[in-house]
Amino acid sequence: MAGLELRGVRKDFGSVAVLKGIDLSIRDGEFVVFVGPSGCGKSTLLRVIAGLEAATAGNIHIDGAEVTRTAASDRGLAMVFQSYALYPHMSVHQNMSFALENMGVPKAEIARRVDRAARMLRLTDYLHRKPGALSGGQRQRVAIGRAIVRDPKIFLFDEPLSNLDAELRVATRKELAALHAEIGGTMIYVTHDQVEAMTLADRIVVLNGGRIEQTGTPLDLYNRPANLFVAGFIGSPRMNLLPADAVRLSLGEATTVGIRPEHVQPCGEADADLTVQVDLVEQLGGETFLYTTGPNDLKVTIRIDGQSALGRGDRLPVRLRREHLHFFDAAGLACRPDTIPARSHA
């Protein structure tokens, strides 16, 4: 396995700059997830790392060696795509062994690698089947197995679970986490699914407009977003972002106050920061989400443990838990006021 270094990596398509100077270090054995909105450049960045797209500028190092102009086939990487990309006329065994045969790997070594990967991915009983006789989750495991047998320096995953239904996504996500724990490989994973990012990653890289907004552990990004974009992007439902004057907090340079839905607390009128009206209730059994409107058409999402008897049109006094407030200045950057009022009396 190997680490990865990106320095000033740019990618232009004609006059359109898609990657605008990416600096990133990924450690040997790390599981890193790229997230961001559609069009942010995350898949393009993965393809540039793989060598499927040529970087317009900058340098790429894998395991200490510069590979910026090295062909994809010579970088020692393995990529798993969203579409599986299996050969339909070949068996599972043949799909997994085909690349090794082309590389001239001895038959005994091919058999050993395929057997090991099949056992890891619970595919031993399916080695003689063709892809058409497999479920979607099994096909994706074959695609992952085909990458494993190549013993790559780095695994690259481009939204590999997006074609699966919800139940299979959860099951395959668990298998990926177990696989990383077992083989300890360096893995780079692109997804638009925040649950995948939060549960799989050692570190998350948040991209926006071809730039890195913030890099950190899942809980670092959740608890300490560096700016308004990360605060609003990480978390589902998203963080409540409220104008400081709308909740009557005087906080110096802070113009926006952020608070997660789980930290907006129903309370008595005397302790309330504001009173909201319930617009929509999502009852999920173990938790409830309330989508509400406060003064001046302020939209506030509230998470409540367990179930709630509240309904549309109900009024609810709430308090913003002071220890969980986030503050952002006029430029959208995280800041910290000198003092935080005990209660706003909005």
User: Taking phi first (over 0 means left), then psi (-120 to 50 degrees means alpha), and beta for anything else, what does residue 313 get?
Assistant: left
Confidence of residue 345 (pLDDT cuts 50, 70, 90): very low
From first CA to last CA, the distance across the chain in angstroms is 56
Out of 228, 253, 288, a domain closes at 228
Q: Which residue has the higher pLDDT, 243 or 279?
A: 279
Mean of all residue pLDDT scores within the chain:
91
Mean pLDDT of 67-77: 94
Mean pLDDT of 111-139: 91
pLDDT confidence of residue 227: 97
Instruction: Report in angstroms the alpha-carbon separations of 115 from 84, 99, 112, 227.
Output: 20, 15, 5, 47
The lowest-confidence range among 43-47, 135-139, 329-333 is 135-139
Residues 186, 309: one domain?
Answer: no
* Nearest of 182, 173, 184, 214 to residue 34 by alpha carbon: 214
pLDDT in tens, 151-172: 899 999 998 888 777 787 888 8
Residues 251, 285: one domain?
Answer: yes
CA 73 to chain centroid: 27
pLDDT in tens, 29-50: 999 999 999 999 999 999 999 9
The lowest-confidence range among 52-66, 69-83, 222-236 is 69-83
Residues 203, 275: one domain?
Answer: no
Cβ neighbour number for residue 286 with a 10 Å cutoff: 8
DSSP states of 326-342:
EEE-TTSBEE--S---S
What are the backbone dihedrals phi and psi of residue 204, each rounded to the nearest 5 degrees, phi first?
Answer: -110, 135
Q: Which residue has the higher pLDDT, 79 or 249?
A: 79
Question: How is residue 76 written in tokens?
Answer: 């020692």
Out of 228, 254, 275, a domain closes at 228
Residues 51, 158: one domain?
Answer: yes
Does 62 fall in a domain? yes
Question: 3-class secondary structure for 206-227?
Answer: EEECCEEEEEECHHHHHHCCCE
Mean pLDDT of 11-34: 97
Does 169 fall in a domain? yes
Based on the structure, what is the number of domains in the chain? 2
Residue with tokens 């898609």: 18
pLDDT in tens, 85-120: 899 999 999 999 998 999 899 999 999 999 999 988
Q: Which residue has the higher pLDDT, 221 or 338?
A: 221
Helix 136-148 × helix 92-102 angle, to 10°? 20
**CATH code of residue 274:** 2.40.50.140
Residues 31, 69: one domain?
Answer: yes
Mean pLDDT of 291-304: 95
Helix, strand and coil in the chain, % to nearest 5: 30, 30, 40
Q: Which residue has the higher pLDDT, 159 or 312?
A: 312
Out of 173, 194, 228, a domain closes at 228
- Residues 144 and 80: beta-carbon distance below 8 Å: yes
pLDDT confidence of residue 84: 78
Kindly tell me if the per-residue pLDDT of 338 is higher than 70: no
Q: Count the residues in the chain.
A: 346
DSSP β-bridge partners for residue 275: 317
